Amino acid sequence: MEKANSLRIRVWRGGESGYWAEYALIARDNQTVLDVVTEIQRKHEPSLAYRFACRVGVCGSCAMTVNGQPRWTCRTHVKNVANDGQLTIEPLRNLPRIKDLVCDLEPFIDTWQRAGAIFQGRSSRSDPPQKVDPGSNPRKQADSALQCINCAVCYSACDVVHWNRRYLGPAALNRVWTLLNDERHSEQEKTFSKAFSRDGCSSCHSHGNCARFCPVELSPASSIAGLKGMAFSGSRSRLVNE
Amino acid sequence: MSEQALFVVQRISAAILAPMVLVHLGLILVAVEGGLSAEEILSRTRDNAGWALFYGLFVVSAAVHAPIGVRNILREWTRLGWKAIDGLAMVTCILLLVLGMSAVIAVF
């Protein structure tokens, strides 16, 4: 009975080189992985570094690798991921480790810049808002790829990123897909050519780990498949106003 | 050649190769039924423009398709720069083209 009420937690301490620290905690009925990390920091290891902000699955700050899989820890219940009362918690894969559970997100953010995933409007602020038909096919396509919280879980889950750190990765390419389906975005050709640059969308192997682990259930893999399809049709033909 | 063009060319060459590989495998199964000898092979291929065209297209498609894949593998599994990778992919293309077309011409 005592075993059932206890958790054994292994937490990565250090940067690129470091060690596993082990903690024993009391298992509670309702606790998330973030709750566990917070308890360790407050009661056992005040110097433990980790990131979080909203604690309700909106900000995308608290992603970590839990028992070998990338997770948003604030919405991941321990009872769903613990393996016989054991949890192994480490920083996200594919990103440089700064300290303990904190990784450097710069390479991830950099992919958004390199992918051309930046909205460029057609009108000025003095113009009336441009109308977008919610029933149009491009709008529906964009809709299915919106609501990314930039948590980098997909980037961490992606094997192609693991093999080739210059690959733009699922999050940035998913964002590009929304822009190429946004008739308000003026730089369609520029964004498309950046997405199809070296180490761009054609590097994707369609493994689908991004879709499997995305906490908000987006499918970057489908967005990238859409981008690949544009290689044949071109981006220009999709939008009425181009 | 742009990444987009390479992607399109690789997909088109794959679409060409897919049915050709099936025909090729079928041919192997049929050909060995009657024993496999130089005379038997040459009797089928000598002055046969159909088979020469079939395998000519096969070789060209493979020589286009495979080096693009090799390029991706080198990018993912080695630390080589693009210049070296593109060079090795081109060498693979030329090698497949020369060896393949030599074989097609030799049995025609």
pLDDT in tens, B42-73: 888 888 899 999 999 999 999 999 999 999 99
Q: Locate the chain A residue with the closest alpha carbon to B5.
A: A231
CB atoms within 10 A of CB A1: 5
Q: Does A202 touch chain B (CB under 8 A)?
A: yes
Q: What is the pLDDT of residues B6-32, one digit of tens each?
A: 999 999 999 999 999 999 999 888 888
Q: Which CATH class is domain A6-103?
A: alpha beta
Chain-chain contact of B3 with A198 (C-beta, under 8 angstroms): yes
pLDDT of residue A123: 87
Q: At residue B75, does pLDDT exceed 50?
A: yes
Fold of the domain spanning B3-106: 3 helical TM bundles of succinate and fumarate reductases (1.20.1300)
Sheet holding A86-90, edge to edge: A18-26, A6-14, A86-90, A63-66, A69-72
- The SS3 call for residue A2 is coil
Q: Locate the chain A residue with the closest alpha carbon to B69.
A: A203
Tell me if ipTM is over 0.90: no
Which CATH number describes the domain made up of A106-238?
Answer: 1.10.1060.10
Residues lower than pLDDT 50 in chain A = 1-2, 240-242
pLDDT of residue A236: 56
State which H helix or E strand residue A63 sits in: strand A63-66
Residues of chain A with CATH 1.10.1060.10: 106-238
The shortest C-alpha distance from A201 to chain B (Å) reads 9
- How far is A176 from A179, CA to CA, in rounded Å? 5
User: Is this model's pTM higher than 0.80 or not?
Assistant: yes
pLDDT of residue B44: 83
Q: At residue B5, does pLDDT exceed 80?
A: yes
In the numeric block, which tokens belong to residue A119? Answer: 């909205």
